[in-house]
Amino acid sequence: MSRPGRDDAPDRLYTLTGGRSRSGPDNPFDLVTLVVAECEPTPGMQSEHAAILRMTEAPTAVVEIAAELRLPVSITRILLCDLHAAGRVSARHPRTAAVPDPDILEQVLVGLRNL
């Protein structure tokens, strides 16, 4: 069953990725990796690559790029790997929030109960 608004024709996806179905073992991109363009699009560049460079002028998550391009995440990751290998984008993983000390949380809870 086809989803509305998606162009998942296998021949188109095959053409976009040059026949590749996986991005490789050293792929730095997961769904929440922030991608940042390191350069401007150049004439003659594949249209999807140029679109990625334009939308990643500010840090953008891989899943947002895939949604904007209306492509599966797996295909988007392959395109991103191409750009990353050429030095056109960089990958930044979001910072993980530090987990607060459980003793401090307990003290806050006790203080709230005493109010």
Strands (E) located in 1-115: 34-37, 60-61, 89-92
Report d(CA 15, CA 67) in Å as an integer.
Answer: 19
Residue 11 has pLDDT above 70, yes or no: no
The pLDDT tens digits of the residues spanning 87-110 come to 999 998 877 666 677 888 888 888
Give the Cα separation of 99 and 83 in Å (integer).
34
pLDDT of 40 strictly over 90: yes
**Which has the closest alpha carbon to 31: 70, 100, 82, 77?**
77
* Contacts of 17 by beta carbon, 8 Å cutoff, 6+ apart: 75, 78, 79
Q: In the chain, pLDDT over 90 holds for what percent of residues?
A: 30
- pTM exceeds cut of 0.85: no
